[in-house]
Amino acid sequence: MDTIDNIRTFLAVVKGGNFSAAARATGTVPSVVAKRIDQLEHRLKVQLFHRSTRRIELTEIGERYHPRFLQIVTDVDNAFRDVAVTRQKLEGRLRIKCPTTLTIMHFGDALTAFQRSHPGVHMELVLMDRSVNPLEEGFDVAVGALPTSYASVVDIPLCAMPRVLVASPAYLKRAGTPRHPRDLPQHDCVAFLATGSVWRFDAPTGPIDVDVQTSFSVNDSHVLLSAVEKDLGITMMARHIARESIEAGKVVEVLPDFPVPDLWVKALVPESRRRNPAVQAVVEWLIDASQPLAPWDRPGG
């Protein structure tokens, strides 16, 4: 399993862009990450990364190995999951809350596969974009990406969700391009209802919070993106939702020097339900669907 661990570390370095980010993602330290990469390169007898004091980049050979390693890790994870399924015949009821877009694009397939593998479990899947206290509202698991936490509820991290500020070229031509987050109150802004109108940015001097003026608000990410593509204003949204539009030139990144902090997708589980076998199994299934790569960073994601 050392080789698989080394491959997982390689994937974490590619995703994080450096050894420190990979160390945080894998729960270790940069020196261990470096050692695992050295072991993998020695095993393969090739150099996978160009390294400098400022950055780390894949070599041409590393680029070729990357998709193969992704597939290897996926196959290994599926094999272990299949073994676990054959050993454990689960029964019971699960009531799960998930965000709408995240479920339609990613977690819906994972939870459908879980149901197929555990026919003895009766699942009720509720799509909802607001923050939910699962203890109060009767959910066994509540998946969400908002930073809210609740008493007697355990937060289980699944994956980071990078965000980006975007607008259409036509809007920026008409209204001008903001140079600083403090310029945003003078612009039309389009908001995702669940995250609200107070937008936070990272800056060298510390976080900057801006209360923007929203001309349009919605609780669906695809409608949000469509509104921005139609020149309604500037929005803050998940980078993976905006990725294709950015690549097509329909929208462009705004204020790249003031990055938007990531949200963390997490599973909220009442402490009283955490040891339930079906709850444990579905949470492990969601973790497998989210790590070491987020669903939207996987091939076909």
pLDDT for 147 beyond 90: no
pLDDT for 72 beyond 80: yes
Residue 77 confidence class, pLDDT cut points 50, 70, 90: confident
Q: Which residue(s) pair with 122 in the sheet?
A: 93
Q: Can you give the pTM of this predicted structure? A: 0.67
pLDDT for 301 beyond 70: no
Show the DSSP H helices in the chain as ranges.
Answer: 2-16, 19-26, 30-44, 60-87, 100-102, 108-117, 134-137, 169-175, 221-229, 239-248, 277-290
Q: Which segment of 35-39, 83-87, 160-164, 265-269 scores lowest on mean pLDDT?
A: 83-87
Residues of the chain with CATH 1.10.10.10: 2-84
Exposure string of 24-63, with b = 16+ CB inside 10 Å and e = fewer, is ebbebeeebbbebbeebbeeeeeebbeeeeeebebeeebe
CATH of region 91-157+263-297 = 3.40.190.10
Residues of the chain with CATH 3.40.190.10: 91-157+263-297, 163-253
> If residue 49 lies in a helix (H) or strand (E), which one and from where to where?
strand 49-51
Question: 2-84 sits in which CATH class?
Answer: mainly alpha
Across 220-244, average pLDDT: 94
* Pairwise CA distance, residues 230 & 167, whole Å: 9
Amino acid type, 89: K
pLDDT for 119 beyond 60: yes
Look up residue 284 and give its two tokens.
């492990």
Architecture of domain 163-253: 3-Layer(aba) Sandwich (3.40)
The confidence score (pLDDT) of residue 129 equals 86
Residue 18 confidence class, pLDDT cut points 50, 70, 90: confident
The confidence score (pLDDT) of residue 130 equals 87
* Pairwise CA distance, residues 15 & 293, whole Å: 8
What's the mean per-residue pLDDT of the chain?
90
The confidence score (pLDDT) of residue 195 equals 86
